Amino acid sequence: MEVDRTLRLLWRRALGTPQGSRGPKQRISVDKVITAAIAVADEEGLPAFSMRKVADRLGMKLMSIYTYVPGRSELIGLMVDEVAGEQDLSPHEGDIRLRVGRVAEQLWDEYHRHPWLLQVESSRPWIGPNGSDRYEWQLAAIEGAGLTDLEMDQVVTLISDFTAGAARTSIMSRRTSEESGMSDAQWWEINAPVLDQVMPPGRYPISGRVGTAAGEEYNALGDPQRLFRFGLDRILDGIETLLKRNGHL
């Protein structure tokens, strides 16, 4: 079963080398394949990520990659767990606000370092060593704060979901300015004639006002970092409210 093989690849370090194979030794290693694959995805994004490009980068031919990993989607699973291992999981310090904040910021950084993470659409969420270690570390941030086990899982999910959503917005806006090959000014210049015709003054009273305010404060496209911070602070307030209600804090 391919599931089994992929799982063994995920936990390859814990399982040790699978001695005694007959044919010629592999020229490179799964780790090299994964590293090259991550580099390709970092540079070009997941849609443009292809087995051919991974092979090229390694100086091998396309079909050889398939002796290292079962296929494209399994390789992506391996990449996801690999980058989950880049984080610093040193013991938590400070009050719960700081701890939980750090959990969120770590995810935020990871998404920005590897924007393709948000394009991953696995049909099976692989359980890998780095993902498992991180989940344990995330829970440790709120261990002993007075939450039930169920609430602990829910809080970590809340933080993860919000951060993923905010990072998605941030990355899409970044892609917009980088990759569209068009400055904001140019874009508005092209669109203005149509939009002026179709959005007469007064048609959007609130968004007109709010959009202007927001546009002036953070410039035009929104300041994703600041939006993230605002949302995170509200969520931390909400978590503190829950702790108070539970009789802690």
Partner DNA sequence: CCTAACTCCGTACACCTTACGAAGATTGTA
Partner DNA sequence: TACAATCTTCGTAAGGTGTACGGAGTTAGG
Smallest separation (angstroms) from DNA to the CB of 191:
20
Query: Which tokens in the block code for residue 230?
Result: 């605002």
Interaction pattern, residues 60-99, with DNA; x per rule: CB under 7 A: xxxxx-xxx--xxx--------------------------
Distance CA 62, CA 64 (A): 6
Which of the choices DNA, a second copy, none does residue 91 contact, using the CB cut-off of 5 to 8 A by kind? none
Distance CA 191, CA 195 (A): 6
Distance CA 220, CA 173 (A): 11
Of positions 26, 62, 66, 165, contacts a second copy by CB under 8 A? 165
Q: Whose structure tokens read 């939980």?
A: 100
Count of other CB atoms within 10 angstroms of residue 158:
16
Which of the choices a second copy, DNA, none does residue 194 contact, using the CB cut-off of 5 to 8 A by kind? a second copy
Which of the choices a second copy, DNA, none does residue 51 contact, using the CB cut-off of 5 to 8 A by kind? DNA
> According to the binding rule CB under 7 A, does residue 180 interact with DNA?
no
> According to the binding rule CB under 7 A, does residue 120 interact with DNA?
no
Which of the choices DNA, a second copy, none does residue 53 contact, using the CB cut-off of 5 to 8 A by kind? DNA
Buried b (16+ CB within 10 A) or exposed e, 61-75: eeeebeebbbeebbb
Residue 16 backbone class (left: φ over 0; alpha: ψ -120 to 50; beta: rest): left
Residue ranges in 85-122 assigned as alpha helix (H):
96-113
Q: Which is nearer to DNA, 44 or 233 (CB)?
A: 44
Q: Whose structure tokens read 């079909």?
A: 63
Of positions 11, 12, 35, 50, contacts DNA by CB under 7 A? 50
Site for a second copy in 131-160 (CB under 8 A): 132, 135-136, 139-140, 143, 148-155, 157-158, 160
Nearest Cα residue to 231 out of 93, 101, 94:
101
Dihedral sign of CA atoms 96, 131, 136, 1 in order: positive
Distance CA 163, CA 105 (A): 8
Distance CA 242, CA 56 (A): 53
Of positions 190, 196, 225, 246, contacts a second copy by CB under 8 A? 190
Which of the choices DNA, a second copy, none does residue 98 contact, using the CB cut-off of 5 to 8 A by kind? none
> According to the binding rule CB under 7 A, does residue 8 interact with DNA?
no
Of positions 5, 8, 13, 27, contacts DNA by CB under 7 A? 27
Which of the choices a second copy, DNA, none does residue 71 contact, using the CB cut-off of 5 to 8 A by kind? DNA
Site for a second copy in 206-225 (CB under 8 A): 206-207, 209-214, 217, 222
Residues that bind DNA (CB under 7 A): 20-28, 49-53, 60-64, 66-68, 71-73
